[in-house]
Amino acid sequence: MKKVNVAIVGATGAVGTKILEKLLERDFPVQSIKLLASKRSAGTEITAGGHNYIVEETVPESFDGIDIAFFSAGGSISEKFAHEAVKRGAVVIDNTSAFRMTEQIPLVVPEVNADALNGHAGIISNPNCSTIQMVTALQPIREKLGLNRIIVSTYQAVSGAGSEAIDELENQSNQFTKRSEIKAEILPSASAERHYPIAFNAIPQIDSFDSSGYTLEELKMMNETKKIFGDPELSVSATCVRLPVVTGHSESVYIEVGQDGVTVKELHDLLTNAPGVVVQDDPSKQLYPMPLFAEGKDEVFVGRIRKDPEHPAGFHLWIVSDNLLKGAALNSVQIAETLLT
Amino acid sequence: MKKVNVAIVGATGAVGTKILEKLLERDFPVQSIKLLASKRSAGTEITAGGHNYIVEETVPESFDGIDIAFFSAGGSISEKFAHEAVKRGAVVIDNTSAFRMTEQIPLVVPEVNADALNGHAGIISNPNCSTIQMVTALQPIREKLGLNRIIVSTYQAVSGAGSEAIDELENQSNQFTKRSEIKAEILPSASAERHYPIAFNAIPQIDSFDSSGYTLEELKMMNETKKIFGDPELSVSATCVRLPVVTGHSESVYIEVGQDGVTVKELHDLLTNAPGVVVQDDPSKQLYPMPLFAEGKDEVFVGRIRKDPEHPAGFHLWIVSDNLLKGAALNSVQIAETLLT
C-alpha cells in the first residue's frame, strides 16, 4: 500500500491524541505525521510510538504535501482550513459538525455506508459520536429486516465535551466527597451561559438548543442517522443526556423493525455476525454492556436485547461504545483506511 | 382531625427515616409514633422533631393499638407482618413490592387514583419510586387528552437501593479519584451474584431479571402504571438504568397522547396546573429538571417537553423527582392523609 503524509488538526485534544494512537496502533501506511493545533499549543512535544512530535500552528501552508488531514479542532477551524487543505491536495476527514449535513459531502461509518465515499470532492465528514455507535449496531438489523422507527435516550460521557470536561468531573467528585464547594465552569458546554455540576448529576442538555426545543446533539442524531442510512423516511427521535461517566456513551434504543414476528434470537444472530459489533447479552450471567468496561475498546457493544411486549415489531437494545474511539478517532482512521484500499 | 397512633417498620432505613421526617414536617395528626426495625437495630436512638425515639424489634404485638403502620423494610418483612398488623386493627401502607400487583389491594398515588382507596381491606400499596413520579406527571395529560403509549428510559439514583448503596457510591468515588482499587459489593443489588462499580459507570440492571429479559424494576413500571391508571390496554415499555447519582430519579419519557394536533403549550398548561407537579422548562434559560436540584424537594419536576417531529401524537418529557420523597416516603404519608380526610 502507498504510504501517505498525514496531518492531525487539533492534535492536542481528546480526540486528536486518540487519532495519533490509532494511526500508530493499526499500522496505518504512514509516510509522515504532522501534528497541528492552535498557536497557543505550538511547540508542545508529544511522544507516541517511540517518536517525538512537535506540535505546529495550523496555517494554510501546513497542508502542502499532505495526503490526508484529520480535523478535530472544532467547527470553526474546519470551516477556516478544510477547503484550504483540499485546495492543496489533501483529503480532509472532518470530525466536527461543520459539513456533516452538507448534501454533497459524504457522512460515513465504514461498516454502514462505505459506498458514500465514491466520488467525494475532498471533504468527508465523520458523524457525531452518539450517532456512529447507534448506526453501527442497527445496520445489520436494518439491512436484513428493515427499520421504521428509532426512539433513543442517551447516557453520554463527559469526554465527549473535551478534556476540560474530564478534569471538571474529577475535580467536582473530589469537592463533593470532601464536602467543599462545587465549581461548575464547563458543562453542559463551555460556551453556555449557565453551568451546572455534572458530578452526581444528570444534565439533559448536550450542545445548545434550537427553536424546536431540541438540542443540537439530539438533532444531529436524528438528521445524521437518516443521512447515513440514506432513508429520509426513517423516524428518529432522540433525547440526549450527559452523565458523570468519564468515557463511554450508552444508549437506550427502542426500534420498530420492518416486519412483525421477528425474534430476539434473530437479532442476536444478526448482531453476532456484524462487523465492529460485540453482543454482550446474557441476563442469567448479568452480562450487558457498561461504559466503564467499554473504555479503550474499539467495538460497539450491544445487550439487553428484548422484545417490546406492546408492539409486534418493537425491540429494545442497550448500545455502548467508547465515544473517543469508534465514536470519533477510530471511525476517522477507518474512513482513511477505506479510502486507501 | 382525630389523632392516630403510627408505627414505622424499617424505621432505620433510607425511606423509613424520611417517613418520620415527613410525618413531623407536615403536622400529620400523630398521637404516638412507634419506630420498628429488625432485632439488630432494636435499641437504636433516633432524634427527630425534638423527640427521642427508641427503635423496637418488630413482633406481632408491636401493632396492638396502632392505627396506621408504614412498612418499608423489604418485601419479606411485609409478607410476615402486614396481615398481622391488619388483624390487630392497623391500616398498612406498604412501600415494598409485596402486594402491589395483588388484585384486591389498591396501588395508590393520591394525585392520580385516590378513589382506589375506597373499600380497601387494610393493606394499601405504595408504588415503585420510578412509577410514582411518572404517573404523577402523566395523569393530567392522560385525563385531558388520553394516553396510548409510554416508552421510558430511566436514570436512577443509588439511594433507591438503600443507604448501603449510597455509601458504596461515595467510597468508590473516593477510590477512583485516589486511583486505588474499586470495591463493588452492593450494586446492582446486594443479593445479585455479580457486583459492578457504579461510580463513573451506568448499570442497565435494577433488581433481578425475569425470563423475558426484562428486569423486575422494568416490569414494575410497566405493570404498576397500567394498574394505577386502570388501563390494561395502555402500552408501557421500560428500560431501567442505575447511575452514579445519590438521590433523584430522572426519566426520559416518550408518550403518544390520545389525539393528534396537541401543542407543547397545551401540555405546559396542563402540567403547570397539576397537583404535585412543577414545570421547569425554558431552553432559552437552560431551565430543565436535574436530580441534584430535586433532592429534598416534594414535587415532581417536568421539562424538555417537546413534540416528536416524527409522530402526530408523540411527545418527549424529562421527569425528575426525589425518589425517597414523592417516590416513597412522601407518597406513603399522602396516602395516610387521604385516608384520614
Residue-wise pLDDT tens digits, B315-331: 999 999 999 999 999 99
Q: What is the pLDDT of residue A178?
A: 86
Q: Considering only CA atoms, which of B212, B153, B219, B164 is closest in space to residue B187? A: B164
Cβ <8 Å between B204 and A306:
no
Q: Which pTM was predicted?
A: 0.97
pLDDT at residue A1 tops 80: no
Spatial distance between the Cα atoms of A282 and A272, rounded to a whole number of angstroms? 13
Give a three-class secondary structure readout of chain A. Answer: CCCEEEEEECCCCHHHHHHHHHHHHCCCCEEEEEEEECHHHCCCEEEECCEEEECEECCHHHHCCCCEEEECCCHHHHHHHHHHHHHCCCEEEECCCCCCCCCCCCECCHHHHHHHHCCCCCEEECCCHHHHHHHHHHHHHHHHHCEEEEEEEEEECHHHHCHHHHHHHHHHHHHHHCCCCCCCCCCCCCCCCCCCCCCCCCECCCCCECCCCCEHHHHHHHHHHHHHHCCCCCEEEEECCECCCCCCEEEEEEEEECCCCCCHHHHHHHHHCCCCEEECCEHHHCECCCHHHHCCCCCEEEEEEEECCCCCCEEEEEEEECCCHHHHHHHHHHHHHHHHC
Residue A72 to residues A35, A57, A60, A82, B220, Cα–Cα distance (Å): 11, 14, 16, 11, 44
Q: What is the mean pLDDT of residues A60-64?
A: 98
Same domain (yes/no): A215, A264? yes
**What is the CATH classification number for the domain harbouring A85?**
3.40.50.720
Same domain (yes/no): A187, A293? yes
Residue-wise pLDDT tens digits, B84-134: 999 999 999 999 999 999 999 999 999 999 999 999 999 999 999 999 999
Same domain (yes/no): B266, B197? yes
Q: What is the pLDDT of residue A177?
A: 84
Active site residue B120: no
Q: What is the mean pLDDT of residues B164-179?
A: 93
Q: What is the pLDDT of residue A49?
A: 87
pLDDT at residue A2 tops 90: no
Tally of domains within chain A: 2
Using an 8 Å CB-CB cutoff, list chain A residues near B221. Answer: none
Same domain (yes/no): B254, B166? yes
Asked whether B122 and B86 are in contact (CB, 8 A), the reply is yes
Same domain (yes/no): A101, A159? no
Q: What is the mean pLDDT of residues B270-277?
A: 97
Same domain (yes/no): A151, A242? yes
Q: What is the mean pLDDT of residues A169-184?
A: 92
Same domain (yes/no): A153, A296? yes
Q: What is the pLDDT of residue A82?
A: 98
Spatial distance between the Cα atoms of B30 and B333, rounded to a whole number of angstroms? 12
Cβ <8 Å between A243 and B155:
yes
**What residues contact residue A25 under an 8 Å CB cut-off, 6+ apart?**
none
Residue-wise pLDDT tens digits, A263-306: 999 999 999 999 999 999 999 999 999 999 999 999 999 999 99
Active site residue B268: no
Same domain (yes/no): B317, B333? no
Cβ <8 Å between B202 and A303:
no
Same domain (yes/no): B59, B138? no
Using an 8 Å CB-CB cutoff, list chain A residues near B246. Answer: 200
Mean pLDDT of all residues in chain A? 97
Same domain (yes/no): B294, B183? yes
**What residues contact residue B9 under an 8 Å CB cut-off, 6+ apart?**
B16, B36, B37, B58, B69, B70, B71, B72, B73, B77, B78, B81
Same domain (yes/no): B49, B65? yes
Domain housing A269: 131-322
Q: What is the mean pLDDT of residues A24-50?
A: 95
Which residue in chain B has the smallest CA separation from A294? Answer: B201
β-strands A91-94, A123-125: how paired?
A: parallel
Q: What is the pLDDT of residue B49?
A: 87
Q: What is the pLDDT of residue B219?
A: 98
**What residues contact residue A178 under an 8 Å CB cut-off, 6+ apart?**
none
Beta bridge partners of A232: none
Using an 8 Å CB-CB cutoff, list chain B residues near A205. Answer: 286, 288
Q: What is the pLDDT of residue A293?
A: 98
**What is the CATH classification number for the domain harbouring B172?**
3.30.360.10
Spatial distance between the Cα atoms of B8 and B72, rounded to a whole number of angstroms? 8
Mean pLDDT of all residues in chain B? 97
Which of B195, B240, B249, B311 is catalytic? The answer is B249
Residue-wise pLDDT tens digits, A120-153: 999 999 999 999 999 999 999 999 999 999 999 9
In Å, how far is B148's CA from the nearest CA of chain A? 11
Same domain (yes/no): B162, B206? yes
Q: What is the mean pLDDT of residues A69-91?
A: 97
pLDDT classification of B178: cutoffs 50, 70, 90: confident
Residue-wise pLDDT tens digits, B201-242: 999 999 999 999 999 999 999 999 999 999 999 999 999 999
Cβ <8 Å between B188 and A214:
no
Spatial distance between the Cα atoms of A295 and A160, rounded to a whole number of angstroms? 13
